[in-house]
Amino acid sequence: MEKSRPLWDNPLQFVFACISYAVGLGNVWRFPYLCQMYGGGGFLIPYFIMLIAEGMPLLYLELAVGQRMRQGSIGAWKIISPYLCGVGVASVVVSFFLSMYYNVINAWAFWYLFHSFQDPLPWATCPLNVNRTGYEEECEKTSSTQYFWYRQTLNISRSLE
């Protein structure tokens, strides 16, 4: 007896799930920057050409294969050919690393959000040095914002030791 797979409540829920998987935070944050850096509206022409020529057919192929086979990524490629099982494994590994990448970016965003409720902001001024006679030398050489990012947020050490 075959187990029944979970289904979407309605087609609109499926469309929104596909869009949210395909369009991540990196695309939303980076796309306006890329448009501005590489020619504004002129950047949109090759973007839409590649979207129509490559992006949409590959998305449709991926959705059609998954829908037809009623399997996950590994199982669908295994049904097509046992030699292509590695493609499914690679897809799962890439999805894992992508989700970890987005989780780190979201964690940084929440870190800054929660720290932005303090008054004064922790990145507004340089911290005092150990004996409280002046500001941290490293902070004065760069900026208080960079110091907060590298020393407080990322907790990067000053040297390799």
In a shared domain, residues 19 and 56: yes
pLDDT at 161 over 70: no
In a shared domain, residues 95 and 53: no
> What is the domain extent for residue 62?
9-70
For 63-101, write each residue's pLDDT tens digit.
Answer: 788 788 888 888 888 888 899 888 889 988 988 998 898
Number of domains in the chain: 3
Classify residue 82: in a domain, yes or no: yes
In a shared domain, residues 81 and 123: no
Cα–Cα distances (Å) from 144 to 110, 115, 120, in that order, read: 19, 14, 13
In a shared domain, residues 66 and 14: yes
Q: How far apart are CA 151 and CA 157, in angstroms?
A: 7
In a shared domain, residues 134 and 93: no
pTM of the model: 0.55
Classify residue 28: in a domain, yes or no: yes
Q: How far apart are CA 88 and CA 85, in angstroms?
A: 5
For 24-43, write each residue's pLDDT tens digit.
Answer: 666 666 777 777 777 777 77
In a shared domain, residues 57 and 86: no
The per-residue pLDDT for 93 is 93
Q: Which of 67, 65, 81, 74 is nearest to 95 (CA)?
A: 74
In a shared domain, residues 27 and 44: yes
| Boundary (domain end) residue, out of 70, 85, 100 | 70
In a shared domain, residues 15 and 49: yes
Classify residue 30: in a domain, yes or no: yes
For 103-149, write each residue's pLDDT tens digit.
Answer: 888 888 888 889 889 888 888 888 888 888 888 888 888 888 888 88
The per-residue pLDDT for 160 is 65
Classify residue 147: in a domain, yes or no: yes
pLDDT at 5 over 80: no
Residue 38 has phi, psi (to 5 degrees) of -110, 30
Answer positive or negative: Cα dihedral of 108, 109, 112, 115: negative
